Amino acid sequence: MIAVSRLAGPLLVVAVVAVPATASGEFATVYVESKPVEILVAIPSAGYSARLKKKKRLKFSKVPPGSHEAVFKVGDLVLPLKFKARAGDVLRLQFDYYKKTAFIEVHEMTRVPTVPLAPPEGAAAALSTPGGAFPHRILEKPPKMGARYRMHMGLERGLQWLAAHQATSGAWEAAGFPYWCDGKVVQDSKLWPDGIGMATYDLGVTGLALCAFLGAGYAPDGEHAYSKAVSRGLRYVRAAQNEQGCFGHLATQQAIYNHATCTLAMVEAYGMTGSRKYWQSAQRALNFIWLARNPWFVWRYGVKPGDNDTSVTGWMMQPIRSAEIINAHAREHGASPPFELDPTVWRGIGAWIEKIHDLRYGRGGYVMKGTGPSRPADLKAAFPQDESYSCTAVVALARLYIGKDQIRRTKPFALAAGLCEYHPPRWSPEDGTIDMAYWYYGTMALFQWGKTHWDKWRRPLLRAVLNNQRKDGDPCRYKGSWDPIGPWGRHGGRVYSTAMMVMCLSAYRRYAREEDIPRR
């Protein structure tokens, strides 16, 4: 895997990992400014330390004009290699011992626009009403019976568990959550709940946890039990934003998911409060989304990687739609739209959706038409790709957001949403049907479709979600959470599964139905 991250100043750090198990011929694209820059190639020692000697024997030769080549022989010391490069150069790294080769192409980078310190005048006043741009999220007493009451009680138990496991830094730690209980470290390992994830997802699950609170109506400035938790979480996310507007760094594939969930949280925090500190962070994050998108299409891992996928696109379009809702709310109240949006973004999303949506059967593809969602290699049998319709749900939601004429009555939308309707949530670990990402997108799409379609989805959703919420112990252990079962459970852990299920239960609060939202 090759990962790229941009640091302050003229230095670009490119981390290259040529693990023996990976295939040869990997490449990454590096975006630099028009002037020459120094590129630092660092080969991490993980996986090599047992076979490398301390003595460095590095052959570095210039190959055809505009190209650079570095050949690493057996016994090479893994040290950073600097060279000057400009747009159009190609770096070739060859590992003779493992017979692997990696390429890095250098292209010109689009500058990230500078964001003003404050949004347009009048925007904050337009968001000063209860709930801001999301008035349907106003906290009110739920009914004492019925489906809404059960959904409300389930999401409240989930939020109590999330609040109990927030770290003092403000983060929700995918791997470290068991050590925290109400802001204190739990010393006794016997009291630690299981279900840990991977630390590389800390930012991503923090964004999801914040979205769970915000979607349920708990703003950072409200008078409620979770105001401090939400405020601390948003402070942690803001502190992780780099100079390009990206939350975290792009050293791993999951970084782009982390950025999407944190952007959604920051955009919605501004939409519910009108606070300029959230606005500036949100606009910078949106600017990075524009920068990362491939020309004419959508997103995948990194900045303009050249390839596209529906999974990343599904998460990226969430903050975009929330920003549009906030802009529409500001216009309704006579104020200028606070967010600057890319006017071509939905054209690119629409082009991708047309490319991967099979109109014969209604199924949406992952990286091409007819392909199922991604799965870890060792879990493909346990969670078959054919059993998930997550990409199909993203397609349905995207078609709805694109907002073409009477979208609910069009055949493409009905095909995608109808396929989801006939494959509702079912909690069955034995046959691999648990896919929380699918349930979330399906819930969003079917709620928007409304009427009998929503009823047919909601009933099995409540059975699957509420019947399997942990009710044993207390919130410091399991009560209110969901076991991280599913293809991505071991990645995001119990924080991921709990935040996702809370977001499903708050679907009726998160957004108004699209017919009630002014079009952009």
What is the per-residue DSSP string for 338-393?
A: S----TTHHHHHHHHHHHHB-TTT-PBPSSSTTPPPP--GGGTTTS-GGG--HHHH
Contact 291, 107 (CB under 8 A): no
Place of tokens 């925007």: 123
Single-letter code of the amino acid located at 86: R
Contact 253, 198 (CB under 8 A): no
Contact 196, 246 (CB under 8 A): no
DSSP annotation of 241: B
pLDDT at 86: 54
Q: Rounded to 5 degrees, what are φ and ψ at 93?
A: -115, 125
Contact 305, 30 (CB under 8 A): no
Per DSSP, what are the bridge partners of residue 39? 12, 83
How far apart, in whole angstroms, are the C-alpha atoms of residue 191 and residue 474?
11
Single-letter code of the amino acid located at 438: Y
Of 228, 197, 216, 260, residue with least CA distance to 482: 197
Of 323, 436, 362, residue with least CA distance to 444: 436
How far apart, in whole angstroms, are the C-alpha atoms of residue 163 and residue 153?
15
Calculated CA dihedral for residues 96, 102, 105, 106, nearest 10 degrees: -70
Contact 324, 51 (CB under 8 A): no
DSSP annotation of 85: E
The whole-model pTM stands at: 0.79
Full pLDDT tens readout for the chain, 520 residues: 334 333 333 334 343 333 333 333 344 444 444 444 444 444 433 333 222 222 233 333 333 333 344 444 333 434 444 555 555 555 555 544 444 555 554 544 455 566 666 677 777 777 877 778 888 887 777 777 777 888 889 999 999 999 999 999 999 999 999 998 988 888 888 888 899 999 889 999 999 999 999 999 999 987 889 999 999 999 999 999 988 899 987 777 788 999 999 999 999 999 999 999 999 999 999 999 999 998 889 999 888 888 899 999 999 999 999 999 999 999 988 888 999 999 889 989 999 999 999 998 889 999 888 788 888 888 888 888 888 899 999 999 999 888 754 445 578 888 888 999 999 999 998 888 899 999 999 999 999 888 889 989 999 999 999 999 999 989 999 999 999 998 988 899 999 999 999 999 998 778 877 665 555 5
How far apart, in whole angstroms, are the C-alpha atoms of residue 137 and residue 216?
6
How far apart, in whole angstroms, are the C-alpha atoms of residue 28 and residue 92?
11
Q: Give, for 456, the enclosing helix (H) or strand (E).
A: helix 451-466
Token duo for residue 433: 């049907």
Per DSSP, what are the bridge partners of residue 185? 180
pLDDT at 39: 47
How far apart, in whole angstroms, are the C-alpha atoms of residue 201 and residue 134?
28
pLDDT at 307: 87
pLDDT at 390: 93
Of 449, 313, 443, residue with least CA distance to 391: 313
How far apart, in whole angstroms, are the C-alpha atoms of residue 274 and residue 133?
9
Cα–Cα separations (whole angstroms), residue 401 to 319, 345, 347, 438: 12, 12, 11, 17
Name 473's Cβ contacts closer than 8 Å, sequence gap at least 6: 479
Calculated CA dihedral for residues 307, 311, 316, 317, nearest 10 degrees: 110
Of 61, 6, 62, 16, residue with least CA distance to 37: 6
How far apart, in whole angstroms, are the C-alpha atoms of residue 231 and residue 203?
15
199: number of Cβ within 10 Å: 12
64 three-class SS: coil
Token duo for residue 320: 């975009």
pLDDT at 512: 78
Contact 247, 241 (CB under 8 A): yes
Place of tokens 């017919």: 515
pLDDT at 59: 37
Place of tokens 């694209």: 29
Contact 56, 76 (CB under 8 A): yes
How far apart, in whole angstroms, are the C-alpha atoms of residue 70 and residue 94?
6
Single-letter code of the amino acid located at 76: D
pLDDT at 42: 44
